[in-house]
């Protein structure tokens, strides 16, 4: 059963947390990070994307980049910006995005459990991205951004979280994007034991976001033989019924020789018209198509929604299998330069912009994948197609870091 343990986190002082904490390294480009961190020496982007402190054009995977990250983390500690707790604890991390709110438990999960399949994945990873995070963790001797894990909601655990969150948070701020962040420290020994015991009774946990962080942490554990803190990885663990998954849309650069009229004709055999606002899929198996300045809301014909395999019934699978590959000749969405992906809060307005400006010829707006499908697929040991889920809001890097202890040793 999954092992989740308290740990002594490295955390920013409450008075500077809003200046320290930043979006995850993998949702922001180097250029965006350089601009965002300009004039702010406390920004955690100096740690998570340290190439921003080196000359423009520096290889982000060079040894100098990882060394600079180590130096920047050490500077924040030496200056008292980041302070390590004196004893192992669990923490709560709440995010508020408009009407949506989610509260997770922060702890460290077992790399051995990940290797054994008790922490289930639903995506494939790329070795070059694993290598990057492995080198980053190893150079810093720390995990500086959490994996985003999920547990099937447990009433008793959720009641404990609600009780602990009744107290004023130790840290609270609203980020530039309007997302609110708050954190609490759980110190009571009985609460710590209860959290550990409750997770230990669960059959498994799921990775929602952070597959590369998790895989990299497991590789560091193998190299270090589990010494120090390397046997565990930093995680925020949320109940499944609090998560928000936003749609992950597709844009295609050309019509593969079709005209809009001939493409509509091809689609008549695949889709039937769907009611409601034309640019907003309202249910599974609905797709909104934007082309030539117009939206049409469509639904896959029932004969295409077949099969017992839950992967086969995902909308991203149906679209790839019946539209993108046979009609538009997008064979592998991982490698094709004719397809793009638009996820998160940018929504259908961004799809319109990309088509209207001529950079894309058509766009497909999809209904969001639901968390229950993700868990069923992970339970079966299967993987989802690329760009199937976009979890929002994103966890902030820098709010909690897990020191592995090699330097101390």
Of the ranges 79-83, 103-107, 235-239, 385-389, which one carries the lowest mean pLDDT score?
A: 385-389
Clarify whether residues 220 and 309 are in a common domain.
no
For residues 208 and 369, give the distance between their C-alpha atoms in angstroms, rounded to a whole number. Answer: 12
- pLDDT tops 60 at residue 408: no
Which tens digit of pLDDT belongs to each residue from 361-389? 999 999 999 999 999 999 999 999 988 99
Clarify whether residues 164 and 206 are in a common domain.
yes
pLDDT band for position 137 (50/70/90)? very high
What is the per-residue pLDDT for 406?
Answer: 54
Q: Which structural domain range is residue 151 located in? A: 4-244+392-403
Average per-residue pLDDT in the chain? 95
* Displacement of CA 10 from its chain's centroid (Å): 21
pLDDT band for position 241 (50/70/90)? very high
Clarify whether residues 249 and 235 are in a common domain.
no
Share of the chain above pLDDT 70, in %: 99
Tokens standing for residue 398: 């820098």
Q: Supply the pTM of this predicted model.
A: 0.93
Tokens standing for residue 340: 């793009």
> Is residue 408, in this structure, part of any structural domain at all?
no
> Is residue 409, in this structure, part of any structural domain at all?
no
Structural domain count of the chain: 2
* Domain containing residue 379: CATH number: 3.30.1760
pLDDT band for position 407 (50/70/90)? very low
Clarify whether residues 223 and 256 are in a common domain.
no
pLDDT band for position 248 (50/70/90)? very high
- pLDDT tops 70 at residue 64: yes
Clarify whether residues 239 and 225 are in a common domain.
yes
- pLDDT tops 60 at residue 409: no
Residues contacting residue 4 through CB under 8 Å, at least 6 positions apart: 105, 107, 108, 109, 110, 195, 196, 199, 200, 205, 235, 237
What is the per-residue pLDDT for 394?
Answer: 94
Clarify whether residues 30 and 179 are in a common domain.
yes
Clarify whether residues 332 and 365 are in a common domain.
yes
- pLDDT tops 60 at residue 84: yes
Which tens digit of pLDDT belongs to each residue from 274-323? 999 999 999 999 999 999 999 999 999 999 998 889 999 999 999 999 99
């Amino acid at each position: 059963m999954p092992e989740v343990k308290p740990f002594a986190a490295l955390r920013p002082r409450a008075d500077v947390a809003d200046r320290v904490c930043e979006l995850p390294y993998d949702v922001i480009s180097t250029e965006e990070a350089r601009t965002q961190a300009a004039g702010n020496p406390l920004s955690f982007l100096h740690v998570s994307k340290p190439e921003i402190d080196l000359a423009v054009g520096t290889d982000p995977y060079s040894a100098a980049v990882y060394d600079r990250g180590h130096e920047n983390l050490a500077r924040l500690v030496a200056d008292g910006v980041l302070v390590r707790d004196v004893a192992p604890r669990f923490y709560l991390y709440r995010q508020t995005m408009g009407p949506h709110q989610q509260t997770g438990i922060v702890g460290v999960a077992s790399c051995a459990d990940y290797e054994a399949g008790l922490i289930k994945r639903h995506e494939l990873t790329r070795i070059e991205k694993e290598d990057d995070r492995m080198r980053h963790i190893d150079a810093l001797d720390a995990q500086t951004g959490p994996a985003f894990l999920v547990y099937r909601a447990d009433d008793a655990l959720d009641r404990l979280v609600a009780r602990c969150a009744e107290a004023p948070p130790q840290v609270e701020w609203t980020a530039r994007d309007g997302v609110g962040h708050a954190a609490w420290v759980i110190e009571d020994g009985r609460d710590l034991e209860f959290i550990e015991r409750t997770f230990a009774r669960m059959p498994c946990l799921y990775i929602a976001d952070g597959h590369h962080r998790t895989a990299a942490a497991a590789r560091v554990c193998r190299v270090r033989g589990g010494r120090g803190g390397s046997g565990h990885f930093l995680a925020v663990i949320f109940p499944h019924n609090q998560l928000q998954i936003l749609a992950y849309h597709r844009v295609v650069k050309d019509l593969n020789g079709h005209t809009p009229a001939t493409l509509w004709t091809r689609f008549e055999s695949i889709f039937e018209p769907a009611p409601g606002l034309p640019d907003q899929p309202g249910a599974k198996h609905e797709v909104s198509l934007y082309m030539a300045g117009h939206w049409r809301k469509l639904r896959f014909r029932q004969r295409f929604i077949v099969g017992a395999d839950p992967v086969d019934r995902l909308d991203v699978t149906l679209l790839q299998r019946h539209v993108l590959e046979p009609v538009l000749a997008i064979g592998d969405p991982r490698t094709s330069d004719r397809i793009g992906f638009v996820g998160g809060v940018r929504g259908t307005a961004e799809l319109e912009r990309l088509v209207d400006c001529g950079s894309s010829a058509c766009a497909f707006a999809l209904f969001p994948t639901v968390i229950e499908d993700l868990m069923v697929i992970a339970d079966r040991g299967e993987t989802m197609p690329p760009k199937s889920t976009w979890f929002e809001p994103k966890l902030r890097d820098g709010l909690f870091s897990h020191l592995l202890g090699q330097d101390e040793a």
